[in-house]
């Protein structure tokens, strides 16, 4: 069709690596719309949809929600936004998510922003966050880390093999991380 495809940047990184925090900064400076897959799923639980209980149980166990559910929410949010530049935060989380998104939307990411952070630091951040998230307890955090290593890192490796990963040291203070992120989003001058 003749419609121009939107620009998508996938923002990936372990639980608590700072994806949401840095996306908020990027939105302010670069005019993207931030879509957190986790936030969309949590909103879906709150809305009382028929999938709500299933999603809630999966998040509580740190498991990855079936891609058709997540992709539908992402597509609707993209349409509703009126924008054509998106930060998709926390998705795709496994190979199946990745392949399904590309097959359904025909969109390939411009690049993948990857926040690299040691587990001890991510754990500290999540445990001191206190936003009432049902998955922010030590049992679920351990499960989230395991799923990240086993299922999500391979997606980062896939895009790395295509030269699409921009890796950022996310263990530094928020403003220092953003300096690096800013440089990645700023077009190079000749
Ligand atoms: N903080 C941030 N940056 C800091 C820094 N540089 N120095 C010091 N502190 C920093 O940050 C976490 C905390 O750390 C905050 O208090 C922040 O102030 C501080 P945040 O920006 O929230 O990190 P983020 O990476 O967004 O952490 P989050 O917990 O949201 O990551 P997850 O990937 O675990 O959570 P998400 O919401 O993406 O997914 C939750 C669950 O939903 C998944 O486990 C899964 O069950 C489900 N899900 C799916 O099934 N499919 C999907 O596609 C997406 C989610
Ligand atoms: Mg987040």
Query: What distance in Å separates the CA atoms of residue 6 and residue 151, rounded to the nearest whole number?
Result: 26
pLDDT of amino acid 40 = 98
Q: Is residue 187 part of a domain?
A: no
pLDDT of amino acid 4 = 83
Query: What distance in Å separates the CA atoms of residue 55 and residue 70, rounded to the nearest whole number?
Result: 10
**CATH number, domain at 140?**
3.40.50.300
Ligand 1 in contact with 113 (CB < 6 A)? no
pLDDT of amino acid 172 = 98
Query: What distance in Å separates the CA atoms of residue 130 and residue 114, rounded to the nearest whole number?
Result: 24
Q: Is residue 2 part of a domain?
A: no
Ligand 1 in contact with 42 (CB < 6 A)? no
Q: Is residue 151 part of a domain?
A: yes
Ligand (nearest to CA of 45) = 1
Which ligand 1 atom lies nearest to the CA of residue 37? 54
Phi then psi for residue 178, to 5 deg, are -65, -30
pLDDT of amino acid 188 = 81
pLDDT by residue, tens only, the chain of 190 residues: 556 899 999 999 999 999 999 999 999 999 999 999 999 999 999 999 999 999 999 999 999 999 999 999 999 999 999 999 999 999 999 999 999 999 999 999 999 999 999 999 999 999 999 899 999 999 999 999 999 999 999 999 999 999 999 999 999 999 999 999 999 999 887 7
Ligand 1 in contact with 11 (CB < 6 A)? no
Q: Is residue 189 part of a domain?
A: no
Domain count of the fold of the chain:
1
Which ligand 1 atom lies nearest to the CA of residue 59? 46
Ligand (nearest to CA of 14) = 1
Query: What distance in Å separates the CA atoms of residue 90 and residue 13, rounded to the nearest whole number?
Result: 7
Domain that holds residue 121: 7-176
Which ligand 1 atom lies nearest to the CA of residue 58? 46
pTM of the model: 0.98
* 38 CA distance to ligand 2 middle (Å): 7
Ligand 1 in contact with 59 (CB < 6 A)? yes
* 1 CA distance to ligand 1 middle (Å): 36
């Amino acid at each position: 069709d003749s419609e121009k495809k939107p620009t998508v940047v996938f923002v990936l990184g372990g639980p608590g690596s700072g994806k949401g925090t840095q996306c908020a900064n990027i939105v302010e400076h670069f005019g993207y719309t931030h879509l957190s897959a986790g936030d969309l799923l949590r909103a879906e639980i709150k809305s009382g949809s028929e999938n709500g209980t299933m999603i809630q149980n999966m998040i509580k166990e740190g498991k990855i929600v079936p891609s058709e559910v997540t992709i539908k929410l992402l597509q609707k949010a993209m349409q509703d936004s009126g924008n054509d530049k998106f930060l998709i935060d926390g998705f795709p989380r496994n190979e199946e998510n990745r392949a399904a998104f590309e097959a359904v939307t025909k969109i390939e990411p411009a690049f993948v922003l990857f926040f690299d952070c040691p587990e001890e630091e991510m754990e500290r951040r999540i445990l001191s966050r206190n936003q009432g998230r049902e998955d922010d307890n030590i049992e679920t955090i351990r499960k989230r880390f395991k799923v990240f290593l086993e299922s999500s890192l391979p997606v980062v490796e896939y895009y790395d093999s295509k030269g699409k990963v921009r890796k950022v040291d996310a263990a530094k203070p928020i403003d220092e991380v953003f300096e690096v992120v800013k440089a990645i989003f700023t077009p190079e001058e000749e």
